[in-house]
Amino acid sequence: MRIGNTGLFNMPFRKKVKVRLWYSIAIAVVGFILIALTLLGVFADRINDEFISGFYSGLGGGMMGAGIVTMVKNRRMLRDPERFKAAEIAEKDERTIFVMNKTYVATTYVVMMTVLAGTIISMPFNKTVAMTLLSVLGVYGVALTASYFIIKKRY
Amino acid sequence: MKNHIAELRKQRRFTQEELASAVGVTRQTIISLESGKYIASLPLAFKLAEFFKTKIESIFEMEEES
């Protein structure tokens, strides 16, 4: 199945904003659940590790906050035609897309080089960390190759 | 790639904001196009030609590479 045919990338902007609204609600709910589980002591009782409990409550708080902010932003956008039009132009603007694509390429390169350096440095000290980082590089390599062939077929 | 977007826009007394809105891009894109930092895509080039009621070749010009 071609990605372009799924409609995920070519859907009208209004529909895209509505989908994002639902995603933001889902993210806020997941965040809320994580906080609730932490407050109920689920992580503390089962895992008995304060750091992990703190991690889940922090992640939950972040997800809930981000979800609520995105939800409010998208709702305001849907209700205000001026704001909606400005957001649509900003998102579809070809220079913005060009800049974002360049940014993704540069960021991916920097992150992968960091992971590679991390793998080389950590190998003599901690094999688990090194193998985890190596796995990330492996997944990246497979994803890159697969994406290249899929996208090459489309154009 | 050289372009005459700034001259054409000024001749017709449009602001960058008005041109941006007419062709569906941000003002920043018009600024980048006019300064030659960014090269327009083919669809945008057609939109600009339609807006200025002229041919694409009158807006864009290939420069000899040295």
Residue A74 contacts residue A21 (beta carbons within 8 Å)? yes
Q: Distance (Å) from the C-alpha of residue A85 to the closest C-alpha of chain B?
A: 10
Confidence of residue B3 (pLDDT cuts 50, 70, 90): very high
pLDDT score recorded for residue A55 = 87
Q: pLDDT for A103-120, tens place per residue? A: 999 999 999 999 999 999
The per-residue DSSP string of A80-111 comes to: -HHHHHHHHHHHH-HHHHHHHHHHHHHHHHHH
The 10s digit of each residue's pLDDT in A76-93 is: 999 999 999 989 998 899
Tell me what ipTM this predicted complex has: 0.88
Contacts of A64 (CB under 8 A, 6+ apart): A27, A28, A31, A32, A35
Q: Judge residue A78's burial from the number of C-beta atoms within 10 Å of its C-beta, 0-12 exposed, 13-18 middle, 19 or more buried.
A: middle
The type of residue at A70 is T
The whole-number pLDDT of residue A11 equals 83
pTM of the predicted model, to two decimals? 0.77
Q: Give the confidence band of A47 by pLDDT, cuts at 50, 70, 90.
A: low
Question: For residue A127, how far is the Cα from the chain centroid?
Answer: 28
Task: Note which residues in 10-39 of chain B have CB less than 8 A from chain A.
Answer: 20-21, 24-26, 28-29, 32, 38
**What confidence tier does B17 reach under pLDDT thresholds 50, 70, 90?**
very high
